[in-house]
């Protein structure tokens, strides 16, 4: 898709018609390269009619990307993402909360703490105003909210933190990871390569932990030795049948407290003990 010529746009139509605003925004965002369209929208004042929060980014210098203001960075990130509406919207809004959270500290300099959470709320309001459906709004808001989660990965994440990241992202995991990769616009090659390597590592860990979880899900909650100890029986066919029962319980009810799973095993044994 090619970018639309915004010089032909009637600003009064944009202002009064939310459907037209939405269609116009999408025509800009879904161009193969939306860079020119986004800058043209800014230069002509169309951005103020579509997304009033974006022009403020022009004034907010980002201490992480010192060579770009936040608006330039935002447009660069958006252009790097694939031409999918949900992802492009998330890229466009991912730093929208920075002006509202900008603080200057004597020692730390400029900070934008919690800008993702603030930006997520702003995103929800704006996308609803543009008339987007609830599911798309929810997805884009979640991508904006989670866009900064990866920043601490280089300091070391536990397996539980990796699982929580993947679980919270859910069906948005692919878009979230692409957004994070594209969020790196630094000219420092070593820094850019480091970020991509960290994301490669995270994605590999997610796959490996998912594989481990699938394997664990297909194992009963107690192993053979625990079954023998609980029931006071030697190894043999009944241990195998007990394990089959425990696996069926796990599939039906998930992981249960230790006392409950042992009580269920005892109840099963009371009905299936061949000596009774």
Which helix (H) or strand (E) covers residue 106, if one does? none
Please tell me the predicted confidence (pLDDT) of residue 139.
Answer: 98
What would the pLDDT profile of 169-180 be if each residue is shown by its tens digit? Answer: 999 999 999 999
Please tell me the predicted confidence (pLDDT) of residue 162.
Answer: 95
Q: Is 61 helix (H, G, I), strand (E, B) or coil?
A: strand
Give the Cα separation of 144 and 98 in Å (integer).
Answer: 12
Please tell me the predicted confidence (pLDDT) of residue 223.
Answer: 92
Q: Are the CB atoms for 37 and 31 separated by under 8 Å?
A: yes
Give the Cα separation of 58 and 262 in Å (integer).
Answer: 63
What would the pLDDT profile of 128-163 be if each residue is shown by its tens digit? Answer: 999 999 999 999 999 999 999 998 898 899 999 999
Please tell me the predicted confidence (pLDDT) of residue 114.
Answer: 86
Q: Domain boundaries in the chain? A: 1-147, 151-218, 224-272
Which helix (H) or strand (E) covers residue 268, if one does? helix 258-272
What would the pLDDT profile of 47-64 be if each residue is shown by its tens digit? Answer: 988 999 999 888 655 555
Cα of first residue to Cα of last residue in the chain, in angstroms, is: 76
Please tell me the predicted confidence (pLDDT) of residue 79.
Answer: 97
Q: What is the largest CA-CA distance in the chain?
A: 89
Strand blocks (E) in the chain = 103-105, 109-111
Please tell me the predicted confidence (pLDDT) of residue 66.
Answer: 46
For tokens 């203001």, the residue is: 69
Please tell me the predicted confidence (pLDDT) of residue 96.
Answer: 93
Question: Which segments in the chain show pLDDT lower than 70?
Answer: 1-5, 10-16, 59-68, 108
- Phi/psi for 2 (5° steps) reads -95, 155
For tokens 């070391």, the residue is: 156
Q: Are the CB atoms for 83 and 175 separated by under 8 Å?
A: no
Please tell me the predicted confidence (pLDDT) of residue 13.
Answer: 65
Question: In Å, what is the CA distance from 181 to each residue of 17, 46, 139, 217?
Answer: 35, 29, 18, 32
Give the Cα separation of 276 and 114 in Å (integer).
Answer: 64
């Amino acid at each position: 898709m090619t970018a639309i010529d915004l010089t032909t746009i009637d600003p009064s139509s944009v202002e009064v018609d939310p459907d037209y605003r939405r269609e116009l925004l999408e025509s800009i965002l879904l161009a193969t390269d939306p860079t020119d369209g986004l800058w043209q929208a800014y230069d002509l004042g169309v951005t103020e009619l579509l997304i009033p929060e974006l022009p403020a980014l022009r004034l907010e210098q980002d201490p992480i990307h010192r060579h770009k203001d936040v608006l330039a960075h935002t447009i660069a990130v958006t252009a790097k993402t694939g031409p999918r509406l949900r992802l492009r919207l998330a890229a466009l809004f991912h730093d929208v909360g920075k002006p509202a959270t900008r603080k200057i500290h004597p020692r730390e300099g400029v900070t934008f703490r919690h800008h993702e959470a603030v930006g997520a709320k702003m995103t929800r309001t704006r996308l609803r105003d543009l008339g987007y459906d609830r599911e798309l709004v929810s997805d884009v808001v979640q991508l904006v909210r989670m866009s900064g989660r990866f920043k601490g990965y280089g300091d070391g994440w536990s397996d539980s933190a990796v699982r929580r990241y993947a679980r919270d992202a859910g069906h948005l995991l692919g878009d979230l990871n692409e957004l994070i990769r594209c969020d790196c616009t630094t000219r420092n090659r070593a820094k850019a390569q480091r970020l991509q390597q960290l994301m490669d590592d995270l994605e590999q860990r997610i796959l490996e932990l998912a594989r481990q979880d699938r394997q664990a899900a297909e194992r009963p909650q107690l192993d053979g030795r625990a079954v023998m100890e609980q029931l006071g029986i030697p190894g043999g066919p009944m241990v195998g049948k007990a394990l089959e029962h425990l696996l069926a319980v796990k599939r039906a009810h998930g992981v249960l407290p230790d006392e409950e799973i042992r009580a269920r095993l005892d109840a099963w044994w009371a009905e299936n003990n061949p000596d009774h």
